[in-house]
Structure 1
Amino acid sequence: MKYQKTLIAAALLAMTTPLQAGGLLTNTNQSIAFNRNFARVGAIGIDGVYFNPAGVVFLDQGFHLSLNFQNVYQTREITSSFTVPAFQQIPSLQPFSQPFLLNGGQADGSKFYKGKASVPILPSFQVAYNKDRWSFQAGFGLTGGGGKATFNDGLPSFERQVSLLPALINQQLPAFAQLLGQQETPATSYSMQSYMSGQQYDFGLQLGVAYKVNEHLSVYGGARFNYIYNKYEGNITDISANVGGNNQNLYGYFDAKAKALGEKANVLQAQAAAAQTQAAAYQAQANAATDPTVKAQLQGAADQYAAGAKRASEGAKLVRAGADKLNSSKELVKDRYVDVRQRGWGITPVLGIDYRSGKWNLAARYEFTTKFNIENDTKRDDTHHYENGVNTPNDLPGILALGAQYEVLKNLRVMAGYNYYFDKDARMDNNKQRFLKKNTQEFLAGVEWDVTPAVTVSAGGQRTLYGLGDGKYLTDLSFVTSSYSFGFGAKVKVARNIHLNVAYFFTDYSNFKKEYNDAITVGSQQVTQPDGTVLTQPKTIATKNTDIFTRTNKVLGVGLDIDF
């Protein structure tokens, strides 16, 4: 009996997929001015502390402050399906070849998973003090992450292994029936409770100084201190299957079967002991008998009882082995929980340059790739994947940002920009970055119109292209897709030295279809080598998987720019 090979399922809690922050997602929405016009690298303004720090020195002398507050709502959506080719070849298992159909899947065998993320208030600020040719600057914001994403129905990577349970249970029903001496009815469906919540924060504090070389050229040098805090909580509970028309919690189901087998093993062992006692008694009588006929009869009885004792003893061992394996299997389907925090920090050097002449302003910013690790602070980890105190790489990719602004009229400006992210140089857990085909690129454009001296309106667009290749980089716990973003808003003078900024932008993400072959571990098996050596190897079931990823993003922002 090899229950532990089948009830694998439970490998289920393969929440072993790394719960790392997605390395490709950098927050560039550091100001409300950006939300209404994404091409800010070539513009001169107080939000330039982040976008164009060299250009800030061209602002008026004195203090300049920008306070920004954004409300962010996002979703992460996955349509997932998979088939088991081996089941398609066996008539009795064909109904289980698209396992998601057994737990609310669509007619095509797929299931839809949706995670929601929201940030009620995403704050940032930029401040600068300009004196003569110098500009002393500081800025703070969430340059990565910034919200809590929750999947109330779990994720496909959690469910796939659980979904194999009915088929695997049915394969073992004849063995169940034989050991227990009773009829076992087939499993027809499964269910589970699953939950995943992740929070990712990259707090960035930037300090730097810009210097005006002349009336046309300025340069900047500074650094951003990054503090990373991630928090992940997840669980899989109440793993069940419909067996014989009743929904059975499998931990309890296996436990009951194991106890029944244990009791049967005790009965068989008692029968073996009684038969052995009888065999010994008849053997003693046979040894003492002198009449050959009587001696033969007594010896025959002794042999018969001894054989019965052997059969009962062997049966008890077989049944008890089945009980032991069921007890091992029930541990695989018990409730599992993960509660992990991750922390780390790193420093990003930042360089900038700005050149203006006539109606043109040209600028560039370069952020170095930031090398650092994050450390696990594990509260609970039933998957044994997040050992407390272990460090994993979590570099921030370098950025080259280029921008230009052209003054069409005194009250009308157009802008363009280009961002290049050095993602393939940023180390990630398990060198995940090697699956990227190329680095991320962004193309930006915008326009500003001073309707009156007190009111400016603007709009902009951004095209983000990720080099995802065949999608190996993507997992259901961490994914991005290429997108278009559109924003609009206004700046209104509300006092002599105060401007109110309001803006709204949304992002339209593309669908990314990832098709791949996989194998789900369903236990272990012993394999005899040519030299006679017996090795224990994983037993797997091959699957064909499809995941379709997409997202949504909506941001509403308000802020104040104040000059002192």
Structure 2
Amino acid sequence: MKFKQKLMILGTILSATSFAGSIDYLSQQDAEYLAHPAMVGKIGVSGAYYNPAGLVWLEDGTYIQVNNQTHLKDYSMEYTNSKGKDYNFKSDKASPAVPSVQIVKKAGDTAYFFHAGAIAGGGSVAYGGGIATFPEIADSGFSALDGKFTHGSTIHGQSYYVAFQGGIARKFNETWSGAVGLRLVDAERKFKGEGNFEILGGVIKPKFDIDSERTAFGASGIFGLNYHPNNKFNLAMRYETETKLDFDNKESKLRKGFNESVPNIGLISGDILYNLIGKDPAIKQWMSEGSGRRNLPAVAALGASYKVAEKTTLLASGNYYFIKEAGDDLGNFDHYDNGYEVAVGVDYELNEKWTLMTGYQYTNTGANEKTYTDTDYVLDADMYSMGAKYKYNSQLDLMGTYSFVQYKTDKNLKDITYKKRVSAIGLAAIYKF
């Protein structure tokens, strides 16, 4: 089976939701992150993603960590038109299975690592009744034509970026180690659905009918450093280069739908309405003209762990996203600032079998009212997390985790209000050979 086919098969079972991270990126790459998101400075099998340079400080052996996350999510967008009518569009489609895996082989001063998961994307959504852009377009773009949005519309969206990454880590001396790796990303973004309108008092009923698929493939480099002076303190850094993703867009129904539903009567035609609706930033990237770059930005991460007592370890970390420097042909990143996350966490060894974990993270996405659209709204958030790890025996650890994310409610320049609420449950098994 070809490599890209394998990627796509994995992609069909991944439906990750963007509840942590910035501008497409997903920070929650395994179940342990849902217990305490301050993962960058921690030494463990999760380091195959978060701290690859720290893997050389594990005991010799081969480790496999298998994770699943279940995401329960409620998204909504609200709009009040010029006549005072309120519209509320909701999606509560869950993501029951979001798998990922880490594999580490540590021998002497060298460790090899592998990670597979959903590195970015907004997951799957289904908005019954359409999206808030529809009544807003009727209220503005179609207003001169006595435009009206009618019900019976449905919008489905999906966005996932499947990644495989691997590399090697090695000790430089008794305190320093480094890592280098390569990540391959297969990205797919879909937007499908219908919108029903009336103009000229219902004499003409334009049909918004879209089935858009955007795909891209890219690669990036991963570099890590780790400072481990003793068994109490650890400091780590990770840098990921920008991932170039030149999307190829396939869409053929939108223009056809307008031309078939709107008679050409000179001043009004399907092409005129197609060009008019295409000016909306929520729609234009999904049109047939929408091919172009939407790169994943470079990321710098820094973290530390410190064992303050025999049973207690404190964690802190941060991620910084270089959004303003990322390549973008379609204006998706216009008006963004660089984004960042800061997180803290605690590990408490209750006894030989049980370890309790908790943490908090603040996410500043770099977005603002000029950037939000119905198909791209990443909101600042507070994330509250907890979990427990159980040592079943000397070879097997089991983990259960939970996070709740409280998002900031915000509006775009067209007075569309965006809200999100997400909770997630993580399960993991870590086996050492």
Q: So what's the TM-score if we normalise by structure 2?
A: 0.83
Q: Which residue of 2 aligns with 1:57?
A: 56
Alignment of 1:74-473 (within 5 A): 74-82=73-81, 98-101=82-85, 105=86, 111-145=87-121, 147-163=123-139, 191-237=150-196, 239-240=197-198, 250=202, 254=203, 330=204, 333-358=205-230, 359-378=232-251, 380-382=253-255, 383=274, 391-436=291-336, 438-469=337-368, 471-473=369-371
Q: CA separation in 2, counterparts of 1:67 and 1:150? A: 29
1:25 to 1:130, Cα distance in 2 relative to 1, 3 A = same
In structure 2, give the amino acid aligned to 1:463: Y
- Residue ranges of structure 1 left out of the alignment (5+ in a row): 1-20, 83-97, 106-110, 171-186, 244-249, 255-329, 517-544
Cα displacement (A) at 1:549: 1.9
In structure 2, give the amino acid aligned to 1:81: T
In structure 2, give the amino acid aligned to 1:555: A
2:383 to 477, 481, 485: 485
* Cα displacement string for residues 73-123 of structure 1 (whole angstroms, at most 9, x for unaligned residues): 2222222235xxxxxxxxxxxxxxx2352xxx2xxxxx3222334211000
1:147 to 1:372, Cα distance in 2 relative to 1, 3 A = closer
Q: Which residue of 2 aligns with 1:72?
A: 71
* Cα displacement string for residues 326-357 of structure 1 (whole angstroms, at most 9, x for unaligned residues): xxxx3xx2333111111111111000011112
On the 8 A contact 2:346/2:359 being kept in 1, the answer is: yes
Q: Which residue of 1 aligns with 2:409?
A: 511
Q: CA separation in 2, counterparts of 1:370 and 1:166? A: 39
What is the count of residue pairs matched by the alignment? Answer: 386
Q: Which residue of 2 aligns with 1:475?
A: 373
Question: Which has the larger displacement, 65-74 or 424-433?
Answer: 424-433
On the 8 A contact 2:32/2:426 being kept in 1, the answer is: no
Secondary structure at the counterpart of residue 362 of structure 1: strand
> Is 1:45 aligned to 2:21, yes or no?
no
1:169 to 1:54, Cα distance in 2 relative to 1, 3 A = closer
Q: CA separation in 2, counterparts of 1:339 and 1:433? A: 23
Question: Which has the larger displacement, 157-166 or 476-485?
Answer: 157-166
Q: CA separation in 2, counterparts of 1:389 and 1:160? A: 22
Q: CA separation in 1, counterparts of 2:133 and 2:122? A: 24
On the 8 A contact 2:290/2:330 being kept in 1, the answer is: no
Instruction: Considering fraction of residues, name the structure with more helix.
Output: 1
In structure 2, give the amino acid aligned to 1:147: G
1:410 to 1:513, Cα distance in 2 relative to 1, 3 A = same
Q: Which residue of 2 aligns with 1:551?
A: 420
Cα displacement (A) at 1:511: 1.4
Cα displacement (A) at 1:374: 0.8
Q: CA separation in 2, counterparts of 1:429 and 1:554? A: 34
Q: So what's the TM-score if we normalise by structure 1?
A: 0.65
Cα displacement (A) at 1:147: 2.2
Q: CA separation in 1, counterparts of 2:404 and 2:24? A: 16
* Cα displacement string for residues 177-227 of structure 1 (whole angstroms, at most 9, x for unaligned residues): xxxxxxxxxx9x863322211100100100110001122111000011000
In structure 1, give the amino acid aligned to 2:394: R
**After the TM superposition, which segments of 4 or more aligned residues of structure 1 sit over 4 Å from their partners?**
163-170, 240-243, 383-390
1:464 to 1:387, Cα distance in 2 relative to 1, 3 A = closer
Q: CA separation in 2, counterparts of 1:169 and 1:403? A: 57
Q: CA separation in 1, counterparts of 2:145 and 2:163? A: 52
On the 8 A contact 1:27/1:145 being kept in 2, the answer is: yes
Secondary structure at the counterpart of residue 48 of structure 1: helix
Q: CA separation in 1, counterparts of 2:206 and 2:143? A: 19
Q: Which residue of 1 aligns with 2:429?
A: 560
Larger gyration radius, structure 1 or structure 2 = 1
In structure 1, give the amino acid aligned to 2:88: F
Cα displacement (A) at 1:25: 2.9
Question: Which has the larger displacement, 502-511 or 191-200?
Answer: 191-200
Q: Which residue of 1 aligns with 2:262?
A: none
In structure 2, give the amino acid aligned to 1:155: I
Cα displacement (A) at 1:166: 10
CA RMSD of aligned residues (A): 2.5
In structure 2, give the amino acid aligned to 1:439: N
Cα displacement (A) at 1:478: 1.0
On the 8 A contact 1:23/1:396 being kept in 2, the answer is: no
1:344 to 1:242, Cα distance in 2 relative to 1, 3 A = closer
Secondary structure at the counterpart of residue 105 of structure 2: strand
In structure 1, give the amino acid aligned to 2:150: S
Secondary structure at the counterpart of residue 149 of structure 1: strand
Identity rate, percent: 25
On the 8 A contact 2:401/2:426 being kept in 1, the answer is: yes
Q: CA separation in 1, counterparts of 2:139 and 2:252? A: 28
